[in-house]
Amino acid sequence: MSTTAGGRAIPHAREAPSIERTGRPAPGRHDNGFGALRLFLALAVVFDHAGSLGFGWEDLGNTLFRGQTNVGTLAVYGFFVISGLLITRSARRTGVVRFAWHRALRILPGLWVCLLVTAFVVAPLVALVERGTLAGFWGGPKGPVQYVTGNWFTGVRQYGIHDLLADTPWGRQIGGTSVFDGALWSLIYETTCYAAVALLAVTAVLRRARWLVPALAGVLFGFAAADQLRGWIPTGPPSDYYSAIVLPLLGTVSVQWLLHLGALFMMGATIELYRERVPVSDRLAAACGVALAASLLLGGFFVAGFPALAYLLFWAAMRMPRRLRRIGATDDYSYGIYIYGFVVQQVLATLGVNTWGYAAYTGIGLALTVALAAASWHLVERPAMTLKDLPPPGMFRPRQPPRHRAGSMAPRPSGGR
C-alpha cells in the first residue's frame, strides 16, 4: 500500500498513563512500555517505506496479509490505539483550553520546522541535483512558500514542490507526481481525533458518562467491520464509497479513513477510561495474538484484528521489561522519525543511494532519520513542551495576592470590617 494512500501516523503525546499490571494506576507516570512501542512502530514505518520509496516494491506484508493491510499501515493502526489511550488521559487531567494548548505544542512546532527544512533546505538541494539550477524554483503555484503555507496546520494541501522527486521510484509509481513527505497526510486524522476528545471532555462525557466512549468505539468499529464484509478495505486511495468532507483549517478528510482510524483511537480511549477493569492477562493476550495473526493471514482483519490489536498493545506496554520502559520516558524520537523518514528516503532515492542495494539504502536512511529526529526533539519539540505550563495565548493567570509570613498581620482591605 502507498504512503499517501495508506497513512502513516504517530501519537504525539508524551503523557503516558501509569498502569500496573493489574490495570490500576501506578506511582510513576512512565512506568509502562508505551514509549518503546511508539519507537518500534515508527521504525516499522521506515522499514516498510524502504521498499516502496527506494525500489518501487509493494509495501511490506501486503501480499502476505491478503491485501488487507501492510506493515506500515499496521503500525499506523497501532499508533492510533496508543494515541487514543494517552490523549484521553491528558484530556481528563486538564481543562479543554490547556489540553488544546498542550496538543498544539506537541505537534505543531516540530511540524513547522520540518516543513521549513523541507521547503527551504532540502528542496533547493534536490533542485540543484535534478535541474542543476534554482531558476524558477522560488516562484510558481507549487513553490516552497506554498508548500509551507498549505500544510502548516496538519492538513496537507500540497504534497510536492514543482515537479521535484517525480522521477524517483515512488514518483514513477504514482504517475510522475512530486511528493516530499507523504507521511504527513495522516496528521489530519490525528488532529480530528484530538478535537473529538476535547469535545468529549468539555461536555463532561469523560467524567460523567464515560460509557458513551465505548459505545462510540463500537459504532465506528461497526463501520470498519461492515466495510470489510462489503470488500471496502482502505489499503489504497480512499474509496468512493464514502464522500470526503472539508473541515475548517484541516482541509479535505476521507470519511472512511476517519471512521477506521477513529474506531482504533476510541478503543484506546476506552481502555484508558476503564483501565481499572481491564485485565492484563497473558492468556487473553495469547488468544488475541492468534486472532490477529489469523485475521491477517486468512482474512477478517478489520473484524477480528482491530480489537485484538488494541488489547495486545495495552498488554505489551504493561508486560514490557522494566529496562525497555525507560525508552521514550525522557527523549521521545518517535514523532521526528515519522515526519522526517519519508523525506530522507525520497532524497536518498533521487541521489541514487538505492542503487547500492536495499541494506545500504535502508541503513543510511534509518541513520539519517534518527539523527534528524534527535535534533528535532532536542532543539524543537522538547523546548516547545517546556512552555506547556504557561498560559495559552489569550489567557492570563489571575494575579495572586501577596503572601505574608506566619504571624504577620495581613493588610485589611479598604472598607473592611
| More reliable by pLDDT, 127 or 250 | 127
Mean pLDDT of the chain: 87
Q: Please give the Cα distance from 210 to 190 (Å, whole number).
A: 21
Q: What is the pTM of this model?
A: 0.88
Q: How confident is the model at residue 238 (pLDDT cuts 50, 70, 90)?
A: low
Mean pLDDT calculated for residue range 215-228: 95
pLDDT at 29: 53
Q: Are 224 and 264 in contact (CB under 8 A)?
A: no
What distance lies between CA 2 and its chain's CA centroid? 17
Q: Please give the Cα distance from 200 to 148 (Å, whole number).
A: 32
Q: At 405, which amino acid appears?
A: R
Q: How confident is the model at residue 236 (pLDDT cuts 50, 70, 90)?
A: low
Q: Please give the Cα distance from 273 to 267 (Å, whole number).
A: 10
Q: How confident is the model at residue 69 (pLDDT cuts 50, 70, 90)?
A: very high
- Residue 214 predicted with pLDDT over 70: yes
pLDDT at 240: 60
Of all residues in the chain, the percent with pLDDT exceeding 90 is: 75
Calculate helix-pair angle for 96-117, 71-93, nearest 10 degrees. 140
Q: How confident is the model at residue 415 (pLDDT cuts 50, 70, 90)?
A: very low
Q: Cα–Cα–Cα angle for 221, 188, 13, nearest 5°?
A: 85
Q: How many CA atoms lie within 13 A of 398 on its CB side?
A: 2
Calculate helix-pair angle for 306-319, 282-298, nearest 10 degrees. 140
pLDDT at 231: 82
Candidate ranges 243-257, 281-295, 399-413; pick with highest mean pLDDT: 281-295
Q: How confident is the model at residue 17 (pLDDT cuts 50, 70, 90)?
A: very low
Q: Which three cell numbers stand for residue 398?
A: 489571575
169: left (phi over 0), alpha (psi -120 to 50) or beta: alpha
Residues 6+ apart with CB under 8 A from 330: none
Question: pLDDT, tens digit, for every residue of 314-346?
Answer: 999 999 999 999 998 889 999 999 999 999 999
- Residue 130 predicted with pLDDT over 80: yes
Residues 6+ apart with CB under 8 A from 400: none
Domain boundaries in the chain? 3-385
pLDDT at 239: 55
Q: Of 277, 350, 301, give the one whose Cα is nearest residue 54.
A: 350
Q: Cα–Cα–Cα angle for 149, 341, 60, nearest 5°?
A: 125
Lowest mean pLDDT among 72-76, 227-231, 279-283: 227-231
